[in-house]
Structure 1
Amino acid sequence: MLANQSILIINSYHKGYEFSDRIVKGIEEILYKNTDIDVNILYMDAKRVTSKEYFDSLEKLYSVQLKNRKYDLVIAVDRFAYDFVLDTHNKFFIDSQILAVGIENFSYDKAKKYGVENKVSALIERRDLKGNVDVIRAIFPSMKKLYIINDKSLNALHTEPLIFDLIQNFNGNFELEYIKEDSLEDLKKRFSKREESSAAIFIRFYKNANGELNKNHDIADFIKNAQIPIFITDSLFIKKGATGGKIVDLYRFGKSSGQMALDILEKKPHQVLVSDDLYFIFDSKKLSEFTLPVDALRVDYEVVNKRETFYDRHTGFINFVFTISPFLVFLILGLFHNIYMRKRTEKELRQRIEFDEVLLNAIESPIFWENEKGIIVDSNSKFCSLIGVTHESIYGKRLEDFKDNPKTKEIIEVINKYIENSYENFEFKHFDENRKKRVYIVKQERFQDKKSKTSGRVTIFTDVTKEREINKEKQKNRQFIIQQSKLAEIGEVFSSIAHQWKSPLIEITAIAQELFYSKKCVAEKEDESFVKDIMNQVTYMTDTINDFQKFIMPSNEKVEFDIYEAIKSMLEIVNHNMKYNSIKISVEVQEGTNLLVTGYKNECMQTFLNIVNNAKDALLNNDYRNRHVDIKLFNQNDYLVVTIKDNAGGIKNENIYDVFKPYFTTKSDGHGIGLYMSKVIIEDKMGGIINVENVNGGALFTIKLDQRK
């Protein structure tokens, strides 16, 4: 068994494209037998889009999807996926083995060019054109012309060498004509008339000249209605109108690919193999339509869509009659027993219906059914109670029949809104018999009964009152924790204010003493000067306490504010503390930056304060001559980005993924809710993004705020 192995399958085409889906199904059947293998599938859309811009965009998308994934083996289904794997090998699959399946040729030089010659294996799908010509020659000896039908796609170019080789080396008594059409409609017209001595080999015809992808049922319709026998080279259109041929079974080809993948994981040598798993299959109805005998073939073959004889259609019945004729008596007894069991089943069914009705009425959510004409078929008692009518009066009526009822009118309006946009949750509020407010979410589903051939809609009103109450309580608790976090920072702020007030108090004391003791201060102008100096110091202290009061006030509603102004206000609070600790703070705003965001200004300031205070604590371990915090603001796409970086040595690797968790702290006196609440404020309350990483000897916090709101 292969343990802890991982495989990535890259499909060249979109999901639902039958050619590649059959191959992938075969691969999965083999791989899923080994439950220890992790299999992932990515889909390209190369059948419909082949531009360089598309593959560049796909590469960017995969750079996100495959960023943290490593695969032991990458299976590329068809050429486009294989080319993509080669082009991006050094970026996404540097340590992965490669298996290319479904390609029509393999170049060792190409693999060597990309440096994967020792990592790549391939299972080549080779259509046997010559073998098909020999088959057609054997069952259609009077044929005069054989068409080879191909389209003008990129894949067709890889098949053309086989076609040209066949034509160049052909030796026969009939004509070969190679057709490369641009339009499926033109192809249908060309073969809409009977050509008694002609046939065709269909290789592919998936795209018109305008790049439009032909659907398989349209191609099958052309093959089925063509007035000449159409032979095929793979299993896509067997039983869909094709006459048959020597074909590649795509499902069996996929199983062979899956087994080859297991061999690679088991470290077996790399191989480039051509699949020789071909078999002969023919459609009986088409053979009869064009009078083609397959008896001349000297190989094993399979015939499908055989016309059944009377005996074939009724073999079971005929055998049954001859087998049970001696037991007619037992049949009669069996009929009586069947009648008894039917009566018993009807009784059990009635009991089941009664039980279902009791169970339905026990459900707290109001429910009712409508048929396709909008007539109410049934409902539970909760719905009847909701609109205030009896169960008997609602049956057979339309909801509009009760629109005079105010509650019913509201329900109709909510249902109409839901029908217009079923992806949005529409709420319906209602006061129950106890005058308690109830909140319901509307959900509708269509139903169809195949036996009775009826359909309609089921409408469910899910009671989410408790959930809404819980959410409100959670919001209150979250606001409490935010305020609690803010209070936890007050000690830091008070310390800052204390330092800021010491200087003006000393100045005021000195001025007062000088005024009191100086004998020279006798002039009125000098008195005014002393008073002015004192008032400047008092004004400074007043501004400081006002800034502090604004900060601790909680924000109740979202407002538009300037993020730069918020950062400056925050720095005013901690400025003296930072200077006291010899920490230099720089703020850089990129030219032309849109600084306006919508959210909660004070809570946003709290986030910046939490990060700056954490940086301050960490920087105290640095030499006092080398302590700095750098703040940068710039726009990126639709976001305003704020980065805060220190040079305190960064966060330990084992802690960096835990710093935003509640109550996680590395400080002996820390509370562990500062950065947690910062994440709550930025991501939950303001719809932004916050993360941290270690960069150049320090921690870098990045905050992104959406400006599209």
Structure 2
Amino acid sequence: MKYFLLFSILFHNFLFANEPKEVLLIHSYHKGYSWSDDISKTIEKNFAKYKDIELTTVYMDTKRIDDNNYIKNLAKLYEQQFFDRKFDLIIVSDNNAFDFMFTYHKTLFKDIPVLFCGINNFDKALLEKNGMKDYMTGVAEEVDLEKNFELISKLHPNLKNLLIINDTSSTGYAIKRDLDPIIKRYEEKFNIEYTDNLEFSNLKTKVSNLDKQNSVILFVLLFKDTTGKYFTYKQSFKQVKEVSSVPIYGLWDFYLNDGIVGGLLTSAIAQGEAVSKMAIEVLNGKNIKDIPALEKSPNLYIFDYNELKRFNIDISDYVNNPIIINEPSSIYKEHTKFFIITLLIISILTIIVVILKANIQRREKLELALSNRIEFDKVLINTIPNPIYYKNIDGKFLGCNTSFENLVNCSKNEIIGKTAFDFFPLKVATTNTLIDKELLKTFSTSTSEFTFYTQSNEMKHIILNKAVYKNIDGTVGGIVCIMDDITERIQQKQFLIQQSKLAEMGDMIAAIAHQWNEPLVELSALVQDIQTSYLLNELKEVNVKDFVNDSMVQIKYMSKTLSDFRNFLKPSTKKKLFSISKALNEINEIIGKQIFYSNIIMNFNYENKNEELLIYGYENEFKQVLLNLINNAKNKIVENKNEDNKKYKIDINIKRCQNFNTIEIVDDGGKIDEKIINSIFEPYFTTKESGTGIGLYMAKVIIEDKMRGTISAKNDENRVIFTIKLPHKKV
């Protein structure tokens, strides 16, 4: 008896397992509408794998007719049509079928699970509100307007006009609501024209008149125009496409192959794939309540190769792994399997041959390659003119090139195993040792500069570029250093600086002449006075002493002038902190009288009057820059001033800032032509017939390259302001 019962149960389960599953697919639209057809084809393709699924498909045809009486009559028809049918699952496609199910589920399809797809503006609260949360789930359809706007703006950076074509269907209104905020965000970038209220002939005229170079169309939907005339999706788009000479983008994949470029498209195939997968789960016994709704629409980037090529649009920089339709098949694509199999066979055969020979040839090849590489590296390093060395983490030299041997005047064997202290001064070696320790901690790179004297007493200016290197096992090997000998460049710059000083010699000699004019007049008067006293026998010892004292005062003053002149010509050897006021006073001693006799007032304005302002740099070179700028201002005023006895001014403003001190040289001798003001610091640029064009260039070299500051010039009405900013501490 028990065997009979067991057999009965197994037989019942066998019959139940093979009982056909009835599925009803309700489309909102009509057969022949590409969107509905693609969903149907995808569902049918996926159901074809299961012989026990029977699919029934009906079409509501609401694109053509959509009023309450029609829907009520349709419900009556379905009630009669499916009176004696028991469905295991219902699938509804698009919003009208979705809404229909809310109204008639209890009366027509009570307790039957429902899957939806292609639903616009889906809100899961709708299921609870309509009492369907235990019976319904599915796949939302959502056009991604934001991403498509972003894509169009990237693919067409020069876009001026975007025409959006839509209709007044329920879907069209829903999209219009979503479009409004996006249009507001993009209307500053390009002109956006939205139309859903044109008679079709007027729309074609508008499309045909679009600017070919800078216009794009976004085609949303068009099933009816303002006259109520109905079009199929292909008819409307085809007529727009015929008169358009600009790229057309879309939101749905059913316009592909008819002339849209593409975009991030809502795909009927993707909708069908997703809802088919859910249907199989339900038919296999999974409770529909356990299947969450797919609220993120499975949209795809799809493009038509022909349209991309026609409008020369390159999407490679903006879209990863897009689907390209109509792309010409290459030989490789047509015979991919053949090529893969062939390559696999060749690879396997090659591997076998290599393995057979590897044991014999491997060591020999490795040894030869290693020897060649070592020899190549040796020649390469020794060919480089820059001194190069590398050392271990203890600071001992492991190797170097020929240029480094020449620099320290030792052979490689004498260098290896020693440290920087054996070849460089203590201060230089100590500083570099500290830099090396910091590099080994941070695994970074370093650039530093030092000066030292070689064994032949030759001064060298060197820039060190260092980096940490690792061994093949990942451990730290040590430090590599490439040295850059900048001695010659520094000497050339110093020569140009001295040359620019000599270019100022004429003005300097004129300044000395002005400085000596009064002392010489005074000395002349003293000599004449003592001569007169002698001739009149009135000369006394006290007169001689006074004469000598007065004469020495004038001679010392003249001697100081020469001393200042000599100090100016002498180049500064190293950076130091020096006083701005002292440098300005010395410049004033040299050219102050010349400025005065040129009927020019020169003012020194210290914002921080009770504070001694310092600069870190080269004092004499700084004075050279000041002299050049003040002389230029003086000469410009002398050339441009009128005969109205106006007093012209040169104001020198000095103030302290957080990390630097600022010196402004301001003159009212007329502005610099705006066409050339940006060129005045270029080498050999001059507007004077006898000018050299190196004065302001060397001023820029001194301030910016040598002293790490900035120098600039600007016009302020009829005045010119030169601004110098220099650090007040070591940088």
TM-score by length of 1: 0.49
**Computing the radius of gyration over CA atoms, which structure comes out larger, 1 or 2?**
2
TM-score by length of 2: 0.48
